[in-house]
Amino acid sequence: MKKQPRRGSILLEATVAVVLTGAALLLLATLIAALRANQRDLNRRSAALHEAANMLELARASVAWPALPEYATADEQPDAGSQPPRRRVQASAGAPLIDLVPDARIEIVLTPEADLADLQRIQITVFGGRARGNERTLAELTGWRRSARKDSR
């Protein structure tokens, strides 16, 4: 004798299958959204690091501080009372970084080294965020250069 399925069991199984499939799809959509956000963040950081490397290269090649770089603002501020004196310049970001982080800004700090008189430390920091209080550091690089270049020819 064959046992008859209970009434509505097929409907119950179909409902459970639909609910489980919906939960799996919701979990998959959440995972994909998290991966896309992570990839966007990685692209922003990569562009910021590339921009910082370009700025560091410009800063190391520049002999005169005000000429560093061409698109830096004239907002040069020496720190009051600190030894050795630091010079800060706020610069705008280049096109690839602006496309990914529209409100990005770059800060360049030039500090003479205390131990070696002709050596200067260059610190490049790329910030991104909606407001100054809510900024994140996207990239930070440090390099050195000689303050007085001698002609080697």
| 46-64: pLDDT as tens digits | 989 998 898 888 888 766 5
Contacts 24+ apart (CB under 8 A), 140-146: 140/52, 141/49, 141/52, 141/53, 141/56, 143/56, 143/59, 143/60, 144/60, 144/113, 144/119, 144/120, 145/59, 145/60, 145/119, 145/120, 146/118, 146/119, 146/120
Specify if 2 maps to a domain.
no
Q: In the chain, which stretches have pLDDT less than 50?
A: 66, 70-71, 73-79, 82, 151-153
Give the global pTM: 0.67
Specify if 137 maps to a domain.
yes
Give the domain extent around 91. Answer: 9-146
How many domains are contained in the chain? 1
